[in-house]
Structure 1
Amino acid sequence: MIPAGTVRRVPDRPGPSPVHVIVPRVSPPARRSGAWMGMLAGFAAGGLIAGSLFGGFGHALGDGDVGLGLLDLLIAGGGIVVLVMFVRRLHAARAQPTRAAARISSRVDAPSDQTTPADHPGGDSSFDRGVRDIRRTDPGFDPARFVGYAAMMFRDAQGAWMTRDIVSLRARVTPEMYGELQAQCDRLRATGHTNRVERIEITAEITEAWQDSDRDYVTASIGGSIIDYTVDQVNDSLVHGSRTIARNVEEFWTFTRPAGLNFWMLSAIQSGR
């Protein structure tokens, strides 16, 4: 089995980005009572002026009951005040439902916190942001399909390692990874040993996704079991491992590519233990 820890030069993931919360602006209801208030004030002022004029004129006429007295003006003024208060309360009562409706609309329009990261990442975790960044240049990027590719790559890499045919992986690994794998195969061949891998039973899960320096990165967690042993290539005697007992696999495989519609290449293998 390919040794874990091969080529660990993986750039650090960027820190969390600040969250910008957009608060919907609700326009205040139009003040329609202004015209009514102005009219009422005009009526009140006109009434008072008329009362004063006619009151004075009445008193000047002597005992005639033509003009409005002080009591009449007070009654008229009090009625106007009551009418003004009534209109204000009516306006306030009508304004309350408008504000309540605005608050309900804001809650309905706000985005939901429930998201499905694998298909429609709308949250704000580092994984969600990473997938969104990758999709800016590759709208069709599908984390679920990538999981299948990572598992297939794990099996193909083990097969190439066992047959020492690293050339078959050249187009699917970075140049640094290819050079390291080739060097390890050469060292194993020099010892006269052969590594054998059987009964691969693994699952893959994406744990990280991000962009750095115009490159996409995705890390897949590989877990399961595998029979992995080394034999002498001359007499097939067991050198290391077990032919029958499977051992656990817990590794992280990181893939990279230039941002956009480019082929993913294996760039690092790290042990999860």
Structure 2
Amino acid sequence: MNGQFDLITLIAIIVAVAAIIKLRSVLGHRTDDDEQRVERLKTREREAAQRTATETASADVITLPRRDREPMAPAPAPETAAANAEARIRAYPVSDPAITQGFLDIAKTDPTFDPDSFLAGAGRAYEMIVSAFAEGNRKALKDLLSKDVYEGFTAAIAEREARGETVEQQFVGIRRAEILEADLKNGVASVTVRFASELISATRDRAGEVIAGDAQKITDVTDIWTFSRDISTAKARSNLNWRLVATQAPN
């Protein structure tokens, strides 16, 4: 009985050892696909590590230009900037040569002055002022008008309000804007512009009845306005705002 048991036990041990050896040979063997998957995994891990390192460095370091890179274009010399400004001014079409001379005088003190840019800004200011006056918006007017003109505009608004009148207005657009005068006196630049614009405007009384203008009709309006700006010092020139200093009716 004991001999039989020992024989059976021995056979079982041999079978178990053989199974273990077979299993290890199967599990421990890598196929070509296994090798490729492992290599791909290692490659992805290396790439992820490189990206992390690059992102970390980029967050802390500002890349400076190297000598082998194309150098940045140097800023124009003051003499070149002045020459370019003069060329633009002389090429600007005017009806009177005195206007060109006025531009040149302004540009000598403020080389950033450009007639086209000025006229575009003046057009925007014109629309804002006309609209603010119709609305009775004193706050908007204050930053756009000189003290004297502001007082005249606000007085007219106050009289209108005292009568209970309101203005309904739609600014259609500027048909034409033309510079009539330009000069520099005592460090103050002044430019006069004639605006030909189109408005729809109607004034109503307390009862809402139209007493002036036409709420359905486009009206042609011509205004001659003078804008000024102090450019006598560097501090003054840092304020780029032109203010309306005078208005006049067309001849």
Look up the equivalent residue of 1:149 and give its one-letter code: G
2:210 to 227, 238, 242: 238
Q: Does 1:213 align with 2:182?
A: no
Question: Structure 1 stretches (4+) deviating beyond 6 angstroms?
Answer: none
Q: 2:226 and 2:209 mapped to 1: Cα distance?
A: 34
Q: Does 1:271 align with 2:240?
A: no
Partner of 1:155: 127
**Contact 1:118/1:143 (CA < 8 Å) preserved in 2?**
no
Q: 1:117 and 1:249 mapped to 2: Cα distance?
A: 33
- Change in Cα spacing, 1:224 to 1:158, as seen in structure 2 (3 Å) is closer
Partner of 2:195: 222
C-alpha offsets along residues 23-53 of structure 1, whole Å, 9 cap, x if unaligned? xxxxxxxxxxxxxxxxxxxxxxxxxxxxxxx
1:200 to 167, 172, 176: 172
Q: Does 1:183 align with 2:138?
A: no
Deviation at 1:181, TM superposition (A): 0.7
Q: 1:266 and 1:207 mapped to 2: Cα distance?
A: 15
C-alpha offsets along residues 241-262 of structure 1, whole Å, 9 cap, x if unaligned? 1111222111111001112524
Partner of 2:90: 121
Partner of 2:224: 252
**Contact 2:178/2:193 (CA < 8 Å) preserved in 1?**
yes
Task: Give the length in aligned residue pairs.
Answer: 157
Residue correspondence of structure 1 range 61-72 to structure 2 within 5 A: none
Partner of 2:33: none
Deviation at 1:144, TM superposition (A): 0.4
Q: 2:133 and 2:103 mapped to 1: Cα distance?
A: 31
Greater helix proportion: 2
Where 1:120 maps in the other structure, the secondary structure is helix
Q: 2:131 and 2:86 mapped to 1: Cα distance?
A: 32
Where 2:168 maps in the other structure, the secondary structure is strand
Structure 1: 5+ residue stretches without partners: 1-115
Look up the equivalent residue of 2:220 and give its one-letter code: N
Residue correspondence of structure 1 range 125-140 to structure 2 within 5 A: 125-140=97-112
**Contact 2:227/2:246 (CA < 8 Å) preserved in 1?**
yes
> What TM-score does the superposition give when structure 1 sets the normalisation length?
0.53
> What TM-score does the superposition give when structure 2 sets the normalisation length?
0.58
**Contact 1:199/1:227 (CA < 8 Å) preserved in 2?**
yes
Q: Larger relative CO (CA 8 A, sep 6+): 1 or 2?
A: 1
C-alpha offsets along residues 66-105 of structure 1, whole Å, 9 cap, x if unaligned? xxxxxxxxxxxxxxxxxxxxxxxxxxxxxxxxxxxxxxxx
Partner of 1:3: none
Look up the equivalent residue of 2:151 and give its one-letter code: G
Residue correspondence of structure 1 range 1-150 to structure 2 within 5 A: 119-121=88-90, 125-150=97-122
1:174 to 133, 146, 163: 146
Superposed CA RMSD: 2.3
Deviation at 1:196, TM superposition (A): 2.0
Deviation at 1:270, TM superposition (A): 1.2
Structure 2: 5+ residue stretches without partners: 1-84
Q: 1:228 and 1:140 mapped to 2: Cα distance?
A: 37
Partner of 1:47: none
